[in-house]
């Protein structure tokens, strides 16, 4: 789908056709739309393919009069089993002489926030500034999702105080995996933005440079948060492993006590079942029963009195 937007009187409005100073939002384009982007708008086919590659890493590249910037964006999703997962996907930004194109495989919160007007001071006619506002919003979404991960891990931790279940462990592993994705993508974005800061690929004015420095500050904060939360979550996973191991040991200890207690009557009746007259009171059928009950109670009392705490 191809959509056109332009800032009119400080408001972002949708256009029916492409105009100078326009932002073109491309989401999951069809083969026909890709041909249109290449033939009518002159986009580099390699740039377009790179922007639509899910495995493409964050980078910046310039070819003739076009510049490609690929930034990893954060995405959240709820699976069928109600497990909340977070991951990243590339967002391609192609700057031409008159337009800015954003290209992604699917809708994401960053594009939705800009279209809905939740991002202020969006001026599509100032291409560099618009890209920097876009990057600022990408970083803001990272920070928002990191806070959600922190709250989700706190909720899982409270549930683990009651009992350890598979669903909670799966949720913790998904959150830990999400933080790994975030940390890797944030580091890649940091490298890309530092390249832009040098001003060799995209010309930066003084206001643009200040804005990019603000983006880098927010990005560093997101990186630090991701590292802190990752360390906390790793400690929680280790603690859960220790709890599970301790619970298994306690269950095994209980089963051992039950096995010992049940073995005593078996031993007593085995001796008296040998049909021999050498055993004391072998002619009295009630005697083995009394001995086994007394021995069982005595052993049970000793084991339970000195039970593991």
Query: Are the C-beta atoms of 160 and 240 separated by less than 8 Å?
Result: yes
Of the candidates 246, 291, 300, 249, the one whose C-alpha atom is nearest the C-alpha of residue 268 is: 291
Lowest model confidence (mean pLDDT) among 15-19, 78-82, 225-229:
78-82
pLDDT band at 165 (very low <50, low <70, confident <90, very high): low
Give pLDDT, residue 202.
74
- pLDDT beyond 70 at 282: no
Give pLDDT, residue 284.
65
pLDDT tens for 98-150 read 888 888 888 888 888 888 777 777 878 788 888 888 888 898 898 999 998 88
User: Which tokens go with 139?
Assistant: 């970083």
User: Which tokens go with 309?
Assistant: 């705490």
Query: Are the C-beta atoms of 20 and 38 separated by less than 8 Å?
Result: no
Helix (H) or strand (E) holding 8: strand 2-8
User: Which tokens go with 25?
Assistant: 């939002």
Q: Taking the CA atoms of the chain, what radius of gyration do you get in angstroms?
A: 33
CA torsion through residues 10, 16, 20, 24, sign: positive
Three-state SS at 76? strand
Give pLDDT, residue 49.
86
Residue 203 per-residue DSSP state:
-
What's the mean per-residue pLDDT of the chain? 81
Of all residues in the chain, the percent with pLDDT exceeding 70 is 90
Question: What are the DSSP calls for 224-249, one per residue?
Answer: HHHHHHHHHHHHHHHHHHHHHHHHHH
CA 153 to CA 269: how far, in whole Å? 56
- pLDDT beyond 80 at 177: yes
pLDDT tens for 256-270 read 888 888 888 877 777
User: Which tokens go with 94?
Assistant: 């192609």
State the pairing for strand pair 11-15/22-27. unpaired
Return the top range by mean pLDDT from 214-218, 295-299, 305-309. Answer: 214-218
- 91 has which bridge partners? 71
pLDDT band at 170 (very low <50, low <70, confident <90, very high): confident
Residues ≥6 apart with Cβ < 8 Å to 180 = 230
What is the CATH architecture assignment of 2-245?
Answer: 2-Layer Sandwich (3.30)
Give pLDDT, residue 277.
63
CA 168 to CA 5: how far, in whole Å? 43
Burial 223-244 (b: 16+ CB within 10 A, else e): bebbeebbeebeebeeebeeee
Task: Record the pTM.
Answer: 0.76
Residue 95 per-residue DSSP state:
E
Domain boundaries, the chain: 2-245, 246-305
Query: Are the C-beta atoms of 255 and 293 separated by less than 8 Å?
Result: no
- pLDDT beyond 60 at 72: yes
CA 124 to CA 87: how far, in whole Å? 28
- pLDDT beyond 60 at 41: yes
Three-state SS at 120? coil
pLDDT tens for 202-227 read 777 777 788 888 888 888 888 888 88
Say how many CA atoms lie within 13 Å of 8 toward its Cβ. 8
Residue 95 φ/ψ, nearest 5 degrees: -105, 125
pLDDT, mean of residues 50-75: 85
Of the candidates 198, 178, 166, 177, the one whose C-alpha atom is nearest the C-alpha of residue 81 is: 166
pLDDT tens for 237-255 read 777 777 777 778 888 888 8
């Amino acid at each position: 789908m191809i959509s056109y937007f332009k800032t009119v009187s400080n408001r972002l409005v949708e256009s029916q056709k492409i105009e100078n100073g326009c932002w073109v939002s491309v989401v999951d384009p069809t083969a026909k739309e890709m041909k249109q982007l290449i033939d009518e708008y002159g986009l580099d086919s390699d740039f377009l393919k790179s922007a639509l590659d899910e495995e493409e890493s964050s980078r910046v590249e310039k070819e003739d009069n076009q510049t490609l910037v690929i930034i990893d964006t954060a995405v959240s999703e709820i699976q069928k089993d109600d497990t909340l997962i977070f991951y990243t996907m590339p967002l391609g930004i192609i700057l031409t002489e008159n337009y800015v194109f954003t290209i992604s495989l699917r809708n994401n919160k960053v594009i939705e926030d800009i279209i809905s007007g939740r991002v202020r001071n969006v001026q599509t006619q100032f291409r560099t500034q618009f890209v920097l506002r876009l990057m600022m919003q990408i970083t803001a979404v990272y920070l928002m999702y990191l806070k959600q991960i922190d709250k989700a891990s706190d909720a899982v931790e409270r549930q683990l105080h009651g009992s350890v279940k598979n669903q909670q462990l799966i949720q913790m592993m998904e959150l830990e995996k999400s933080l790994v994705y975030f940390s890797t993508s944030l580091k890649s974005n940091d490298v890309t933005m530092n390249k832009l800061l040098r001003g060799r690929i995209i010309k930066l004015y003084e206001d643009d440079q200040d804005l990019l420095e603000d983006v880098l500050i927010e990005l560093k904060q997101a990186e630090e948060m991701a590292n802190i939360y990752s360390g906390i979550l790793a400690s929680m996973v280790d603690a859960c492993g220790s709890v599970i191991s301790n619970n298994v040991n306690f269950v095994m200890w209980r089963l051992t006590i039950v096995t010992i207690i049940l073995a005593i009557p078996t031993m007593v009746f085995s001796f008296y079942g040998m049909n021999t007259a050498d055993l004391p009171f072998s002619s009295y059928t009630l005697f083995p029963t009394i001995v086994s009950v007394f021995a069982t109670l005595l052993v049970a009392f000793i084991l339970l009195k000195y039970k593991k705490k």
